[in-house]
Homo-oligomer: A and B are copies of this chain.
Amino acid sequence: MRRSLLLALALIAGCATAPRGTGDLGLVVERASGSLLLVETSGRTAFARVEGLGDLSHAAAVYSRDGRYAYVFGRDGGLTKVDLLHARIAQRRLQAGNSIGGAISSDGKLLAVANYEPGGIRIFDAATLELLSEVPSTWGDGKQRAKVIGIADAPGNRFVYSLFEAGEIWIVDAADPRRPQVTKLNGIGKQPYDGFVTPNGRHYIAGLFGEDGLALVDLWNPKPAARRVLDGYGRGQEPLPVYKMPHLRGWAVAGRYVFLPAIGRHEVLVLDTVSWTEAGRIAVQGQPVFAVAQPGGRRVWVNFAFPKNDVVQVIDVPEMKVVKELRPGRAVLHLEFTPRGEQVWISSRDDNVVVVYDTASYVETARLAARSPSGIFLSSRAAMTGF
């Protein structure tokens, strides 16, 4: 009986992870320690830490379609599949020398990782992390590869991204993931530095570092082509020193408007997605890094580059002006909303804290200790396009 009792206890321990929903889970990237803090947004608590993810500077994550697994893309080329329910690494492989992010296909079966070195993307089976195919970012005379940036998923298992040195946008159809079909758009503008797919999956927009505008592609067009928007918005004139390149992602879209951090300028640019013309500029207190639309698009929250990076400003969309300023802590690196927008989670790297606010009242509702937190990624991203 004694032995059977021990066996019994062992088995209970073996299935100690009680079943729970995954719709309210998330992770916080702890870049300095190569770890992830696992969180849940119902009680607004941290419940576990997962370590051993390597170099997580500029790390990004996407989610399996069931919300259980996060795929973390590390700067060191590491691709790590994390099991949020068991709070452990399910699988990890070093897939390249230098990676800058990735995307998951609309059916959830494929991962595409964007690499600097060697330049190109690699497509993996999301279940096994098996390498299925590779698309080198060869350009010009065919001897060189460009850095791949701004990769995003598009409907129909497509991936869209930009080639920095080449000034090209590539659309990869991975319907047959071992033989991806590539559509190359040339001459889209100099030095695309980031890009995104709008949440409806229709448009890809690349920001240009080398000139004064952005490149727009309509993915619904059977023969997609790039056109220039916000040409001459002022990126060129009297450029300020750029302390940190802004980030672009699907969350910049609020209703009919896209809110774009201007490079080096203390402005957020507003792009009208009906006319594709400038709808205004909003003066902000520093160089914007992220402009993130609160779900529903009523407000847009903005964080900033050094030295103004202890402030978050909130733009009211109907009024098109800043209506609130918050100081969550020093070095605010990222912010993430719960899917229905009632909470926002904000990371303060230098205060080692993640602060949660109620978005209706701006009241702080939680303050969680974290190690130099940067990116925050909630599992609700599993259901979104362009995230």
B4, B255, B297: the one contacting A3 at CB < 8 Å is B4
Tell me if A's interface is mostly helix, strand, loop or mixed.
loop
B8, B63, B85, B156: the one contacting A360 at CB < 8 Å is B156
**Given the contacts A7-B8, A22-B66, A339 and B383 also touching, CB distance less than 8 Å:** yes
* Chain B residues, Cβ within 8 Å of A156: 342, 360
Interface string of A1-45 (1 = CB under 8 A from B): 101100110011001011111111100000000000000111000
- Chain B CB within 8 A of A65 CB: yes
Per the bound structure, the CA–CA distance linking A11 and B16 in Å amounts to: 11
Contact A23 B296, beta carbon cutoff 8 Å: no
- Chain B CB within 8 A of A49 CB: no
**Distance of A333 from chain B, by nearest CB (Å):** 24
Per the bound structure, the CA–CA distance linking A376 and B115 in Å amounts to: 41
- Chain B CB within 8 A of A69 CB: yes
Per the bound structure, the CA–CA distance linking A258 and B65 in Å amounts to: 28
**Which parts of A111-143 form the interface with B (CB within 8 Å)?**
none
Per the bound structure, the CA–CA distance linking A68 and B40 in Å amounts to: 14
**Given the contacts A23-B22, A41-B65, A106 and B155 also touching, CB distance less than 8 Å:** no
* Chain B residues, Cβ within 8 Å of A78: none
- Chain B CB within 8 A of A244 CB: no
- Chain B CB within 8 A of A220 CB: yes
- Chain B CB within 8 A of A241 CB: no
Interface residues on A, range: 35 or more
**Distance of A101 from chain B, by nearest CB (Å):** 19
Q: Which residue of B lies closest to A153 (CB)?
A: B340
B63, B106, B379: the one contacting A342 at CB < 8 Å is B106
**Distance of A266 from chain B, by nearest CB (Å):** 27
Contact A23 B85, beta carbon cutoff 8 Å: no
Taking each of A21, A339, A385, which has the highest tally of chain B beta carbons within 10 Å of its own beta carbon?
A: A21
Interface string of A314-344 (1 = CB under 8 A from B): 0000100000000000000000001111100
- Chain B CB within 8 A of A207 CB: no
Contact B298 A155, beta carbon cutoff 8 Å: yes
**Given the contacts A201-B296, A202-B296, A21 and B155 also touching, CB distance less than 8 Å:** no
- Chain B CB within 8 A of A184 CB: no
**Which parts of A145-159 form the interface with B (CB within 8 Å)?**
155-157
**Distance of A110 from chain B, by nearest CB (Å):** 12
Contact B155 A360, beta carbon cutoff 8 Å: yes
- Chain B CB within 8 A of A380 CB: yes
Interface string of A338-357 (1 = CB under 8 A from B): 11111000000000000000
**Distance of A71 from chain B, by nearest CB (Å):** 13
Q: Report, nearest first, the 3 A-B pairs whose CB atoms are least far apart.
A: A21-B66, A4-B4, A21-B68
